Structures are given as structure tokens and as C-alpha cells.
Amino acid sequence: MVLDPQKILNWPFQPVEQTYAGRDTILYALGCGLGADPLDERQLRFVFEEPELLALPSMAAVLSPPGFWARHPESGIDWVRILHGEQAMEIHKPLPAAATVVATAKVTDIVDKGAGRGALLFVQRTVREVETGEALATLRSTTFARGDGGCGGTTETAPAPHPIPDRAPDLTCDLPTALNQALIYRLSGDPNPLHASPSVARAAGFERPILHGLCSWGVAGHAILKFYCDYDPARIRSMALRFSAPVYPGETIRTEMWRSGDIVSFRARVVERDVVVLNNGRAEVSG
């Protein structure tokens, strides 16, 4: 079976309802490295209930996800060869520290890069609070289906990536990851053994388990929250980036940032290997 664009565009996604509590919000923040300095009271607001627990904006990316739908045999997708290429979020309202939310995913576009070159699947979902019906965040992700080029598509070209300024960054933020960080982060909803099992990681071509891409996303979000928002989550309006290389737990992620008005351009590299792991980042902040 091969990927049928019309079938994928009309894939029968079901609403996903999720109830999360303060414990889940804290666990997510710990998985992204918050609380590494337990005496930093600004970070403590995301990992301790008193006086008021706050949720990281980047947590929106793990709320009411559609699951590993591409693995369904009827999809025709070569799921073994897919990669998470891009992630974006638009925050409509600060995330509550605890809530019941619901979202329904939809494939909005498919870009066929050609036979042997893969295809890009663009997926969108809006997370809403069940009690009020209000939209909290809209998530957009791009999946690179490396084995599905030549399938035909709905759009000829993908949107151009956000450009990074050709000058030294205005600010840099080094945030170390813990050796066991992937083991903590996976408890927020991604149990893929690639991030926990040394044998699975070696079979996939890595020397050891790698950090989740969305964990690296959370680390970059932490850097922006720290330097441009004074740890006020209400000041982050949107964030988008491309995943360019894996991170190994224990490595230091250096986020390089450039500000122009309300727009922060950013990328992140692993200090120990001098490899760019997140690229073409764009965040909108207020204040």
C-alpha cells in the first residue's frame, strides 16, 4: 500500500480528550530541565505548587496529541522512515496548571518532494478547554515522510523557513540537560523506546538513546522565557522551529537569540559537539 493524499487529507481523526493535573504540569517542566537550580525561585513557580503553579507555554505541544496515527496500516505511510521535521504553536490563552482539554487533528497539506526525496505532511490541531470551550493553543507540526516521495500532493512547495540573522546573536543561553532527562521527559507522553533503550537506539544508528525533539523544543522555550519574558508565560504568544539534529542526554543546549521588536529569532546548538540541533526558530513575545 502507498500513501494516498486524499485518504490522508480525510483521515478520520477522533477527538482526543485529556485531563491533566498539577502533577503532570510539574513533571513536564522537570522533563524540560526546570528546577535544575532548586534555589531559583523563578523556575520554582513551574515545579512547585506554592504560591501558584504555572504551566510552561511549550507544554501545549504535548496536550491531546493524535497519537502515532501514521503507523496505521491503512495510512500507506512508510512509518519507519518518518521524522518530526518542524513544530509550531500559537498561544491564545495561558495554559492552566490543571484542566481537561480536547483537540482533533487534521492533515492540512501534503508536499510531494519527488520520488526518492520524500513528502511533507502538515498536521494541525487546536487545543480547547472542555469546561469553557475556549481555545488555548493551535499546534502545527510537519512530518517528513522520507519513504513516500512520488505520492502526489496538494501543495507544490513548502513555506520558506524563518531566516536567522547573519550576525552574532544578541543573547545566548546555555542550559545543560541531565543524563536521565529523556527518562523523565518520556513520562509526559512519548514512550518511544528510542529515548530509553540503548539496544533500540543502537539499532536505529545512534550510539545511545537520544533526547526527544520536543524536549529540546521545551529547552529552547525555557531560554526565551528566561531572557525575554522574565519567566512570565503570558508573554509568549507563538513559537516555531525546525529540528535539525538529535541531542544526547547530558549535553548542553546553547540557544542563540536575536530580537527585533516583538520577534525573537533563534537557533540552538549542542555545545559539546558544536552541532545545530534546532534551526530557523521564531518566537513572538510581548513586553
Q: Which of 55-59, 121-125, 168-172, 193-197 comes out lowest in average pLDDT? A: 193-197
> How high is the mean pLDDT of the chain?
94
Q: Mean pLDDT over residues 162-167, rounded? A: 97
pLDDT at 156 over 80: no
Confidence band of 82 (pLDDT split at 50, 70, 90): confident
- Residue 36: its pLDDT value, please? 92
- Residue 54: its pLDDT value, please? 98
> Do 5-145 and 171-285 come out as alike in CATH topology?
yes
Q: pLDDT, tens digit, for every residue of 178-228?
A: 999 999 999 999 888 989 999 989 988 899 999 999 999 999 999 999 999
- Residue 192: its pLDDT value, please? 86
Q: CA 276, 91, 86 angle in degrees (round to 5)?
A: 30
Q: pLDDT, tens digit, for every residue of 28-69?
A: 999 999 999 999 999 999 999 999 999 999 999 999 999 889
Q: If phi over 0 gives left and psi between -120 and 50 gives alpha, with beta otherwise, what is residue 191?
A: alpha
* Domain ranges (residues) in the chain: 5-145, 171-285
Would you please indicate which residues are annotated as catalytic (active-site) residues? 190, 195, 210, 213
Confidence band of 86 (pLDDT split at 50, 70, 90): very high
Q: Mean pLDDT over residues 72-92, rounded? A: 91
pLDDT at 18 over 70: yes
Q: What is the DSSP string of the chain?
A: ----HHHHHT-----EEEEE-HHHHHHHHHHTTTTSSTT-HHHHTTT--TTT----GGGGGGSS---SGGGSGGG---GGGEEEEEEEEEESSPPPSSEEEEE--EEEEEEE--TTT-EEEEEEEEEEETTT--EEEEEEEEEEETT-TTS--SBSSPPPPPPPPSS--SEEEEEEPPTTHHHHHGGGT---GGGT-HHHHHHTT-SSPPPPHHHHHHHHHHHHHHHHSTT-GGGEEEEEEEE-S---TTPEEEEEEEEETTEEEEEEEETTTTEEEEEEEEEEE--
Assessment of whether the complete model's pTM goes beyond 0.85: yes
- What number does CATH give the domain 5-145? 3.10.129.10
pLDDT at 10 over 90: yes
Third-level CATH fold of 171-285:
Thiol Ester Dehydrase; Chain A (3.10.129)
- Residue 1: its pLDDT value, please? 65
- Residue 154: its pLDDT value, please? 79
Between residues 222 and 80, the one the model is more confident about: 222
